[in-house]
Amino acid sequence: MEKYVSAKLHGMRVTGARLDYHGSITIDGDICREVGLKPLEFVEIWNKMSGARIATYVLYGEPGSRCCVLNGAAARTCQEGDEVIIAGSTLCEVDDVIATKPKVLIFGPGNAVIDRVVYDVFRRPDGSLDMAVHSEQTGLESYGFPSSLKAAADAA
């Protein structure tokens, strides 16, 4: 078993920080369900503004609210308006990752989803692993993905 990314929310903006709470991150329940994050699932949070990296668990927030609220001690690591990356992970075999194709939601202003991305891990004809990144949009390079992943996506 190895640890793999299972879901990712990229560029979500923090909408609140509540220090006087018992802990966690509250995320719009609709967003969580779409990407596959489950209630009480542990996630890693990477603050793009400060570099802070923390781990906590998910609480479902009001569906449709686009909320991203850091609670308890996690509130010390982010301020309202900070851009964060939230990643779920799973312990599994690589063939499970090949089968599940982890989903990524990419956010713009107001925490609106501006793109949906899929990480597609696959085996090449010689059995070695490769990956492609599939996007509903066409601008994979704007996310910093290497051109080889776009070429693999085009070929896959």
Q: List pLDDT tens digits, range 16-26.
A: 999 998 879 99
Query: Could you confirm whether 57 is annotated as catalytic?
Result: yes
Q: What domains are there in the chain, each with its CATH number? A: 2-91 (2.40.40.20)
What mean pLDDT value characterizes the chain?
Answer: 91
Other C-beta atoms lying within 10 Å of the C-beta of residue 97: 21
Catalytic-role residue among 4, 6, 24, 135:
24
Binding site members for substrate: 56, 72-74
Q: How far apart are CA 77 and CA 70, in angstroms?
A: 8
119 is known as an active-site residue: no
Binding-site residue positions? 56, 72-74
Residue 114: per-residue pLDDT? 94
At residue 136 the predicted structure's pLDDT band, cuts being 50, 70 and 90, is confident
User: Which residues partner with 61 through β-bridges?
Assistant: 28
Residue 114 vs residues 10, 59, 65, 118, 144: alpha-carbon distances, Å: 10, 23, 16, 14, 16
Mean local confidence (pLDDT), 84-99: 97
Q: Which of 21, 57, 89, 143 is catalytic?
A: 57
pLDDT of residue 90: 96
The tally of CA atoms less than 13 A away on the side-chain side of residue 37 is 29
Tens of pLDDT, residue by residue over 28-67, are: 999 999 999 999 999 999 999 999 999 999 999 999 999 9
